[in-house]
Structure 1
């Protein structure tokens, strides 16, 4: 087992825990045979590395410990060598790979996006969006969770937080879907693709957003983003803000979407657990913390020793690559009793490393906890039973496949069946016939239903020209115009929506 290649073996992809357990048997800090990196599986040892920013650089966070360095290390301190070759590392200028002052400055700025007041505002949007999205899925009797719910959902939430215009959000999501998988098992460079790479596509738009807001400030988050200052009062370079916006948009999709899928896997596999959470929704937060521990979205991260150091009692020379197995540290039996068991209310479960630790701890963790908790509450509130769809997965959980990534632990798809709870009221689905038009409104009718009727379509097009031909509106067609207004208030104003309602009422 220890001779398997973590970075390319698809059997390890299916069950990384068996691989890491075999490595752990050799010690909490171990160099596999024939490899030029160490794997850290111990909780305390991983914590030690994550907190020691002087000794360990984050420069290989994206490319991983398995990729070769772009230079030959020499000496007991290679800090200068790393900086000289930073541009040669995959994503060397991304915040996840930065060290020292450049990271500190950007990270302090990121933290301003996740203040309690902003998260509270986001939670209001999340509530509205979840009611629509989950309600429609329950009314339909089931859904493919990852592609139809998880990814669009978290995309809209982070887009709302950053202020990305609604008409561009689907374009961004499509670009990310077509781009290379972070930590691809086939060895694809995570930054490959040139002008077609998602970051290159999104970068063009972010440059435009920031340039416009600096010239024409408004009352929105993008304006705050464009005019933000570092803690020392200096103004960030537009390039740095563009890089940050792109990374947050991309990273905001993966971890939260995968957490929702991983969490739902436990609920469909354990109906008593599902019933317990449905009866005691206050336990959902503790349940998610335990899922983050036992099967978090991020399996590993990586560090490069930039000076001679020690991890535990193992000497680590400068230039040594380190694979920090977060998912193994979170199951370290020296730290956790019954580490492979999901136990709600586990003592100090929140101390897991699912979001990392130290200066590079996930800045979006507070948002991730909120968005996954809220949508899980909605799923349980609106259903009496959630089950795996055995027509699509006849072999049950064994049919579920994972995204081919050495970084991310997440399902690529998962079909579930949803049985409505007693008293469930579905979001209003309108007949496309003219007899139903008199009951239509921007508050109760799906956009898709309005656009499918000629009379209603004429009204909507009159006030929102081009909406029916706009491919970016596709991800919102299952929502109402009033719900869409929550994250596109400038495009769908109260006045315009009121006029649409008045004209729909006069059709018959």
Structure 2
């Protein structure tokens, strides 16, 4: 066992076991089971506090068909892991399909923009996947991530200067908008050699893409989002087709890559790869950083220790990834009839892997409702996936989040969540969850 914030020793959590970064309970072993016929994956009850629902799914129906979405919810760790490790039977073809059917006007807007996502990374079960993945992985390997630390620290310092100015001038700041959401976008643009674009524009395009494909927007909202996604696609196409990209840049490496048949990567596939990398590299990492920061400010005594103790920031990030990952679910589709979790599934069954729920499985993790940095088995979580489609940017995301946390704790040692502030809004997409505000104040200096 481990201490809550220390090394080996008897377990001793530093705060209440039901403390939740977003203001609600995280669920516990004694949580009452809930009626699954009332489960709404987009509903306020689930979005604000999914843990009792996830506990109920694992206990009562580990492979459960959700009547509203038609998806089979897979919630136990071993079942989720089995699916991730067998991409032949459980294919990724549906990973980037729109959850909510798009309206005809929205489809027309996308068609006019030439929007088309060919299988490239997350949704690719073809022979081209391995080679494309190698291209991406080279830009996010351990050597490059280590070399990127000074860039992350510099950008974090610049953004924290802005936070400091807001605290001095306004008496408060929002770490989500000013820091967490912006940091990974600026870092990624530097690492991939992207210039000539305002980072806020790229963030807006990325967020719109997530909402359009993973949310439940109204037809009117779909139209607004489709315009932004169309702009994003046009810009990506212009970047991919720009022959002036340096050979050692990400886009240049894609342009030089050859598919298994020896042909160069077509524009649509290259755009699809960029679409996935740009969104994962900034929106989901920003969501992770926001969750990490809010949790660290909530946990009693953690903020000053993160600034001083080696390895604590990294350990806290890993616990957040286990318990409250920004990517909460992922989809697969069965290629043939198969038994899973005691349920016979037909070919073509669409699965929703409850990644967040798997990190709280008591069959795998001791006291999963408690935040225990340095727990021995923390790296066993599935929040970055597993196997062939494991997230190639996992190392960069971990590093950015830990550097961001440590930099903020050192630069702003008196920071605390603003007293009396209402619970923050929470991102309510099918596969993504994070606080959309981290409102903070500072101790008098």
Question: Given the two structures, how large is their TM-score scaled by the length of structure 1?
Answer: 0.70
In the aligned structure 2, how far is the partner of 1:99 from the partner of 1:216?
A: 28
Classify the secondary structure of the residue corresponding to 1:3.
helix
User: Which residue number corresponds to residue 152 of structure 1?
Assistant: 182
Please show how residues 98-497 of structure 1 align to structure 2 within 5 Å.
Answer: 98-141=124-167, 142-178=172-208, 181=211, 182-186=213-217, 196-198=227-229, 200-212=230-242, 214=243, 217=246, 220-229=249-258, 234-390=263-419, 393=421, 395=422, 399-419=423-443
Contact 1:155–1:253 (8 Å) recurs in 2 = yes
Give, in whole Å, the separation in 2 of the partners of 1:135 and 1:174. 23
Q: Secondary structure at the match of 1:19?
A: helix
What is the CA-CA distance between 1:60 and the residue it aligns to?
A: 2.0
Aligned length: 394
Q: Give the match for residue 43 of structure 1.
A: 77
Change (3 A) 1:109 1:172: same
How far does residue 420 in structure 1 lie from its aligned partner after superposition? 8.7
Q: Which runs of 5+ in 2 are unaligned?
A: 1-34, 102-115
Q: 1: CA distance between counterparts of 2:137 and 2:271? A: 16
* Equivalent residue in structure 2 for 1:29, among 34, 57, 63: 63
Structure 1 range deviating more: 326-335 or 313-322: 313-322
Contact 1:59-1:99 within 8 A present in 2 as well: yes
Change (3 A) 1:218 1:26: closer
The alpha carbon displacement at 1:186 in A equals 4.0
Aligned residue for 2:44? 10
CA distance in 1, matches of 2:316, 2:221: 32
Distance of aligned partners of 1:102 and 1:229 in 2 relative to their CA distance in 1, 3 Å threshold? closer
Is the alpha carbon distance of 1:192 and 1:369 closer, same or farther for their aligned partners in structure 2, counting shifts above 3 Å? farther
Q: Name the CA shift for 1:158/1:54 in 2 (closer, same or farther; >3 Å).
A: same
Does the 8 A contact of 1:180 with 1:192 survive in 2? Answer: no
Conserved? CA contact 2:174–2:438, under 8 Å:
yes
Q: In the alignment, is the contact (CA less than 8 A) between 2:355 and 2:383 conserved in 1?
A: yes
CA contact (8 A) 2:120 2:128 kept: no
- Normalized per residue, the structure richer in helix is 1
* 418 and 102 in structure 1: CA distance in 2 versus 1, 3 angstrom threshold: farther
Displacement of 1:300 in angstroms is: 0.8
Rounded Cα–Cα distance in structure 2 between residues aligned with 1:340 and 1:216: 48
Alpha-carbon offset, residue 400 of structure 1: 1.8
**1:221–1:100 Cα change, 3 Å:** closer
Aligned counterpart for 1:20 among listed residues 49, 54, 60 = 54
Please give the alpha-carbon distance, in whole angstroms, between the structure 1 residues aligned to 2:218 and 2:208: 16
8 Å Cα contact 2:75-2:353 kept in structure 1: yes
- Which whole-Å CA distance do the structure 2 matches of 1:95 and 1:290 have between them? 27
TM-fit CA distance, 1:328? 0.6
Aligned-partner SS, 1:100:
coil
Q: Which runs of 5+ in 1 are unaligned?
A: 69-89, 422-508
Counterparts in 2 of 1:292 and 1:227: CA distance versus 1, 3 Å = same
Within 2, Cα distance between the matches of 1:55 and 1:317? 11
Alignment partners' CA distance in 2, 1:58 and 1:101: 13
Distance in 2 (alpha carbons) for counterparts of 1:16 and 1:253: 24
Counterpart-to-counterpart distance in 2, 1:91 and 1:240 = 7
Return the alpha-carbon distance in structure 1 between the equivalents of residues 43 and 407 of structure 2: 37
Cα distance, 1:247 vs structure 2? 2.3
Normalised by the size of structure 2, how large is the TM-score?
A: 0.80
Kindly tell me: are residues 179 and 209 of structure 1, through their superposed partners in 2, closer, same or farther at Cα, counting changes over 3 Å?
Answer: closer
Q: Deviations over 1:359-395 (max 9, x none)?
A: 221111111111111111111112222211126x1x4
What's the CA shift for 1:174?
3.3
> Greater CA deviation, 106-115 or 338-347?
106-115
